[in-house]
């Protein structure tokens, strides 16, 4: 089969690879039709995630058709069209039984701090991902759901991570009626978080980025006030000025490890790998939120330490909520919202690439060329 393969930092290609096999009675093999590249994949692509092996296939956002099922699988049959949450999870451990699917303890030998994620290095369990023609889906009776026939394929792909994560990020902000909510980062996750903040009753939604096309999308798609951080000498002062010098009630970090805005922080983390991630956006969140406010972190950071302004967080009495998203937990409500028209996920899709052009797709998304926001990988051109 054809699969995207990692060759080293900033280098990927399509290779002919052995089709995955059933390795556990509850496995399924899914033939992928559509996949996506996530902002998280860029951390792997840039060589920031420890134990990213040559030959690894990325891709944790995908939908497809069930091609084969293991002997104990009962919920799926061959031919079913499924969306697969980005988390690999067992459904039965201490964490899964409490809804913490992203923190499953039974699927990742390599790290106890990290759950299982498709195509996200060995630090996330060593599973090949879905930017390929076929993918092994463990716990086929637990993770995947049938794609409802009224749901668009691209919307289904976005349910598996980006949309679920934006919605989850807004929930972690514990938003109350008429709160002022700041979203750092206008990528797919930030755009969905901004949109979701309104559903939870925000009074103001402010989005910060440095890419004009994305800020434009934040205004039109997410009805947000926007600021370009490059145009302001000190973004924290700006945030204070526009919130009566109190700070926002809620700040959501939808940027993560490769935050820009401070070259030293960016270079020491993204380029030299001396930090788990550049904490620029997280520190803006800590300093820009009001005392007693809530910081929601869905931007992803690596396992090494980062220079986070913890003292300010302590002195301000902040609540900091964070996690990888338990994607499937969001689905019942998200499907209602999509069906009712409150959310239109594929409005953020700007580019579509065939799997064969995976090198260009990664480069364009990494360098944010051409106003790219969310690239979809078309794996099965015929579907």
Query: Which are the contacts of 322, defined by CB distance < 8 A and separation ≥ 6?
Result: 172, 296, 297, 298
Radius of gyration of the chain from Cα atoms?
A: 20
- Cβ at position 279, least distance to other proteins in Å: 15
Cα 128 from Cα 275, distance rounded (Å)? 26
Q: Does 36 bind Zn ion (CB under 5 A)?
A: no
Measured from the CB atom, is 289 or 349 closer to Zn ion? Answer: 349
State the Cα torsion 7-8-13-15 to the nearest 10°.
Answer: 10
Question: The tokens of 11 are what?
Answer: 């280098």
Measured from the CB atom, is 203 or 383 closer to other proteins? Answer: 203
Binders of ligand NAD among residues 201 to 220 (CB under 6 A) are 208-211, 214
For residue 7, the surrounding DSSP H or E stretch is strand 2-8
Query: Which are the contacts of 20, defined by CB distance < 8 A and separation ≥ 6?
Result: 29, 128, 134, 135, 136
Which listed option, other proteins, Zn ion, ligand NAD, none, makes contact with residue 174 (CB within 5 to 8 Å by class)? other proteins
Binders of other proteins among residues 184 to 243 (CB under 8 A) are 196, 198-201, 203-204, 210-212, 223, 228-231
CB atoms within 10 A of CB 311: 9
- Cβ at position 60, least distance to Zn ion in Å: 5
Across 188-307, where does the E strand assignment appear?
204-209, 225-228, 248-253, 289-297
Q: Does 150 bind other proteins (CB under 8 A)?
A: no
Candidate ranges 132-140, 181-189, 307-315, 336-344; the one touching ligand NAD (CB under 6 A): 181-189
Q: Does 13 bind other proteins (CB under 8 A)?
A: yes
Q: Return the closest-CA partner of residue 106 out of 91, 119, 118, 120.
A: 91
Binders of ligand NAD among residues 250 to 289 (CB under 6 A) are 254-257, 259-261, 280-281
- Cβ at position 86, least distance to Zn ion in Å: 6
Binders of Zn ion among residues 249 to 268 (CB under 5 A) are none
Candidate ranges 30-38, 60-68, 182-190, 297-305; the one touching other proteins (CB under 8 A): 297-305
Binders of ligand NAD among residues 119 to 178 (CB under 6 A) are 161-162, 165
Binders of other proteins among residues 105 to 134 (CB under 8 A) are 105-113, 116, 122-123, 125-128
Residue reference for tokens 């998304």:
365
Reduce the DSSP state of residue 307 to 3 states and report it: coil
Binding-residue pattern over the window 236 to 275 for other proteins, x denoting contact by CB under 8 A? --------xxx-------------xx-x--xx--xx-x--
Measured from the CB atom, is 26 or 296 closer to ligand NAD? Answer: 296
Q: Does 343 bind other proteins (CB under 8 A)?
A: yes
Cα 256 from Cα 248, distance rounded (Å)? 19
**Are 140 and 73 within 8 A, CB to CB?**
yes
Q: Binder to other proteins among 1, 50, 346, 352 (CB under 8 A)?
A: 50
| Sign of the Cα pseudo-torsion (62, 207, 197, 103, in order) | positive
CB atoms within 10 A of CB 180: 25
Query: Which are the contacts of 142, defined by CB distance < 8 A and separation ≥ 6?
Result: 26, 89, 90, 91, 96
- Cβ at position 54, least distance to other proteins in Å: 4
Q: Name the residues that contact ligand NAD, by CB under 6 A.
A: 38-40, 42-43, 161-162, 165, 184-190, 208-211, 214, 229, 254-257, 259-261, 280-281, 298-300, 324-325
């Amino acid at each position: 089969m054809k699969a995207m393969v990692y060759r080293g930092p900033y280098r990927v290609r399509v290779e002919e690879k052995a089709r995955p096999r059933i390795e556990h009675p509850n496995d399924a093999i899914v033939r992928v039709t559509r996949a996506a590249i996530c902002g998280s994949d860029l951390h792997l692509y840039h060589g920031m995630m420890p134990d990213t092996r040559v030959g690894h296939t990325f891709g944790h956002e995908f939908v497809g058709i069930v091609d084969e099922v293991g002997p104990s699988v009962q919920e799926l049959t061959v031919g079913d069209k499924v969306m697969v949450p980005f988390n690999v999870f067992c459904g039965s451990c201490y964490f899964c039984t409490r809804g913490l699917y992203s923190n499953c303890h039974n699927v990742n030998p390599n790290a106890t701090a990290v759950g299982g994620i498709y195509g996200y290095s060995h630090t996330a369990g060593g599973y090949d991902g879905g930017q390929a023609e076929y993918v092994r889906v463990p716990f086929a009776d637990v993770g995947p759901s049938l794609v409802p026939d009224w749901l668009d394929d691209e919307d289904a792909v976005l349910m598996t991570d980006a949309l679920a994560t934006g919605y989850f990020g807004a929930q972690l902000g514990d938003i109350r009626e008429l709160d002022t909510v700041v979203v750092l980062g206008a990528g797919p996750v930030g755009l969905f978080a901004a949109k979701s903040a309104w559903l939870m009753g925000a009074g103001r939604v402010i989005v910060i980025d440095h890419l004009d096309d994305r800020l434009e999308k934040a205004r039109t798609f997410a009805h947000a006030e926007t600021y370009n951080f490059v145009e302001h000498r000190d973004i924290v002062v700006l945030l204070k000025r526009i919130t009566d010098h109190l700070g926002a009630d809620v700040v959501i970090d939808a940027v993560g490890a490769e935050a820009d805005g401070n070259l030293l922080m960016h270079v020491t983390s993204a380029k030299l790998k001396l930090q788990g991630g550049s904490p620029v956006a997280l520190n803006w969140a800590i300093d820009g939120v009001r005392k007693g406010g809530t910081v929601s972190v869905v931007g992803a950071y690596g396992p090494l330490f980062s220079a986070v302004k913890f003292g300010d967080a302590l002195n301000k009495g902040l609540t900091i909520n964070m996690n990888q998203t338990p994607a499937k937990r969001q689905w019942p409500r998200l499907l209602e919202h999509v069906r009712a028209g409150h959310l239109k996920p594929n409005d953020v899709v700007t580019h579509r690439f065939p799997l064969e052009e995976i090198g260009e797709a990664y480069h364009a998304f990494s360098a944010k060329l051409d106003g790219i926001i969310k690239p979809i990988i078309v794996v099965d051109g015929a579907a």
